[in-house]
């Protein structure tokens, strides 16, 4: 039976992905949660830990479902070890083109402290380019509920934290937008169904 490894986003411990893990497990997959420090370690350093963690998984193939910053950790992993993941990869609200909200946070000392090392080749951009052969499916939200609504004045669709345009990445296999917030991507039933569909078939239901 295939294993799906879940990777949480900024400031999250992984418990936030419990409902999504449960729903994906009901689709017939083994599920595991990967934990890492989102502010004390850079995405590159987190990728090293992920590399070691994946080596311990015996049930293959291995798929990845990563929320927000977690998707950037995966980019670093596959840049260093392009063949380690033999399954599919799904990103939920990952700011592949850099996060405007994160950039605004860096304008203050408190904001920089809150983001920590997540901005280094991460939330501000400059993560390694996508050159992996694995199928990559990206789900973006456009619920406009989140911290970003206090900073972002553009009419561009966004999930309250990350703009839809920021989630797109050259080389992705499929992209879909769901009407929910950034954190809501983890709790939305439609998102869970789309995740299962991509893991089983390699595409979303448009």
Residue 86's region, left for phi above 0, alpha for psi from -120 to 50, else beta, is alpha
pTM of the predicted model as reported, rounded to 2 decimal places: 0.94
Please check the confidence at residue 94 and state whether its pLDDT lies above 90.
yes
The chain-wide mean pLDDT, for the chain, equals: 94
| Confidence at 149, pLDDT banded by 50, 70, 90 | low
Q: Which residue has the tokens 């990206």?
A: 138
pLDDT of residue 143: 79
Please check the confidence at residue 152 and state whether its pLDDT lies above 80.
no
pLDDT of residue 151: 53
Contact criterion met (CB below 8 Å) for 197 and 203: yes
- Domain map (residue ranges) of the chain: 3-201
Tokens of residue 28, six digits: 């017939």
CA distance 169 to 4: 22
Please check the confidence at residue 84 and state whether its pLDDT lies above 60.
yes
The better pLDDT of the pair 190, 148 is held by 190
Please check the confidence at residue 145 and state whether its pLDDT lies above 90.
no
Cβ burial of 66 (10 Å; 0-12, 13-18, 19+) is buried
Contact criterion met (CB below 8 Å) for 61 and 2: yes
* Dihedrals phi, psi of 45, to nearest 5 degrees: -65, -35
Q: From residue 72, how far is each of 108, 113, 118, 123, 148 by CA, in Å?
A: 23, 20, 10, 8, 20
Kindly state the greatest CA–CA separation across the chain: 47
CATH T-level assignment (fold) for domain 3-201: Rossmann fold (3.40.50)
8-37 pLDDT, tens digit per residue, is: 999 998 899 999 999 999 999 999 999 999
């Amino acid at each position: 039976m295939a294993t799906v490894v879940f990777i949480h986003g900024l400031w999250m411990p992984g418990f936030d992905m419990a409902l999504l893990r449960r729903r994906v497990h009901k689709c017939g997959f083994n599920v595991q949660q990967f934990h890492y420090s989102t502010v004390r370690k850079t995405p590159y350093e987190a990728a090293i830990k992920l590399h070691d963690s994946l080596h311990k998984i015996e049930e293959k193939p291995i798929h990845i479902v990563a929320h927000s910053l977690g998707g950037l950790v995966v980019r670093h992993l596959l840049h260093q070890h392009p063949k380690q993941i033999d399954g599919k990869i799904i990103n939920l609200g990952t700011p592949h083109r850099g996060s405007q909200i994160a950039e605004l946070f860096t304008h203050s000392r408190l904001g920089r402290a809150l983001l920590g090392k997540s901005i280094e080749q991460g939330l501000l951009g400059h993560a390694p380019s996508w050159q992996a052969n694995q199928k990559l499916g990206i789900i973006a939200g456009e619920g406009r509920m989140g911290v970003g609504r206090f900073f972002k004045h553009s009419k561009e669709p966004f999930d309250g934290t990350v703009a839809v345009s920021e989630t797109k990445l050259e080389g992705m296999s499929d992209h879909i937008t769901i009407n929910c917030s950034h954190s809501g991507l983890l709790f939305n039933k439609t998102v869970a169904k789309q995740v299962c569909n991509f893991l089983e078939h390699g595409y979303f239901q448009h």
